[in-house]
């Protein structure tokens, strides 16, 4: 299964970001902690052209703590500023504001010497669709400043939001890149909800999810769905065992594959299967 999704407004957004970057002091790159590689737009680093950057690993409450630790070591070794965040609870926001001010401390000090005492720090938040940008901004600002939604691509226009006395944040719509070179990238983006549901085969995505979980989190499948998994079982066998346990059987005794797929993908999204990470450094 190959998934590609690049709506026309994303190309327009990319051009607008390039224009707005002239105004920006610090870039905040928001990644999904479950897939820090696949949720990183490979075009962003070339777009920002060396501007100071802080990486936020959002939804870190949904990812595997062991994986979070590995990513922490990775970013430390590469001397990259990173913060684990939870856009709903506000975890990591104080650390983010501190990191932004630290990166701009020398500029603020220079401006003070020139008599400019109220210099504001202008930041831009960048990330793929449905990674939690608007929710994070709302939490930072303490009010519903940016429209939020659980569908990829809700934010369509740029807006400035005041998040502290000194910091202004420019929200931008989520942008993907024109082509996923590796098919598994599109699949992982679909699993976390960054791809529009109507453009890919949900049953195929669910079957591939079972294959991944069987290899890396088999205990989660066994515990969540109260099934036995035998070495001889094919992925489809496990799929059908889950369906039978949930009673997803159509008239005539046939498995309701569609309903099972929707349940699996929904329970993954709600962390009911467990805290799952799909990538390690």
Residues annotated within a binding site for GTP? 58-61, 86-87, 130-135, 174
- DSSP bridge partners of 124: 27, 170
Strand 82-84 and strand 53-58: pairing? Answer: parallel
Query: Taking Cα atoms as reference points, which of 58, 4, 2 lies closest to residue 179?
Result: 4
Q: How far apart are the first and last CA of the chain?
A: 25
- Residue 198 has φ and ψ, to the nearest 5°, of -80, -5
- DSSP bridge partners of 53: 27
Residue 11 CA, chain-centre distance (Å), reads 20
Separation between Cα atoms, residue 34 and residue 265, nearest integer Å: 15
Please answer whether residues 260 and 239 qualify as being in contact, where contact means their C-beta atoms are separated by less than 8 angstroms.
yes
Phi-psi region at 259: left, alpha or beta (left = phi > 0; alpha = psi -120 to 50): alpha
- Residue 125 has φ and ψ, to the nearest 5°, of -105, 125
Tokens standing for residue 279: 């990538």
Tokens standing for residue 132: 């939690």
**Binding residue ranges:** 58-61, 86-87, 130-135, 174
Please answer whether residues 17 and 41 qualify as being in contact, where contact means their C-beta atoms are separated by less than 8 angstroms.
no
């Amino acid at each position: 299964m190959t998934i590609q999704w690049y709506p026309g407004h994303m190309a327009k957004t990319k051009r607008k970001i390039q224009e707005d970057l002239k105004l920006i002091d610090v870039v905040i790159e928001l990644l999904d902690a479950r897939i820090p590689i696949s949720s990183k737009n490979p075009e962003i680093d070339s777009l920002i052209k060396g501007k100071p950057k802080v990486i936020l690993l959002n939804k870190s409450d949904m990812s595997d703590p062991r994986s979070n630790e590995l990513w922490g070591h990775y970013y430390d070794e590469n001397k990259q500023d990173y913060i684990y965040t939870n856009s709903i609870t506000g975890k990591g926001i104080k650390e983010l504001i501190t990191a932004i001010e630290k990166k701009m401390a020398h500029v603020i000090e220079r401006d003070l010497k020139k008599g400019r005492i109220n210099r504001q720090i202008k930041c831009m938040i960048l990330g793929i669709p449905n990674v939690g940008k608007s929710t994070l901004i709302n939490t930072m600002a303490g009010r519903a400043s940016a429209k939020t939604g659980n569908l990829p691509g809700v934010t369509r226009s740029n807006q400035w939001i005041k998040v502290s006395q000194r910091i202004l944040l420019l929200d931008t719509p989520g942008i993907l890149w024109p082509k996923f070179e590796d098919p598994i990238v599109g699949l992982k983006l679909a699993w976390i909800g960054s791809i529009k549901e109507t453009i890919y085969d949900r049953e195929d995505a669910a079957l591939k999810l079972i294959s991944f979980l069987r290899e890396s989190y088999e205990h989660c499948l066994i515990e969540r769905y109260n099934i036995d998994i035998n070495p001889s079982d094919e992925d489809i066998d496990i799929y059908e065992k889950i369906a039978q346990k949930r009673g997803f059987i159509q008239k005539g005794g046939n498995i309701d594959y569609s309903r099972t797929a929707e349940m699996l993908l929904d329970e993954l999204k709600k962390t009911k299967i467990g805290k799952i990470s799909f990538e390690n450094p």
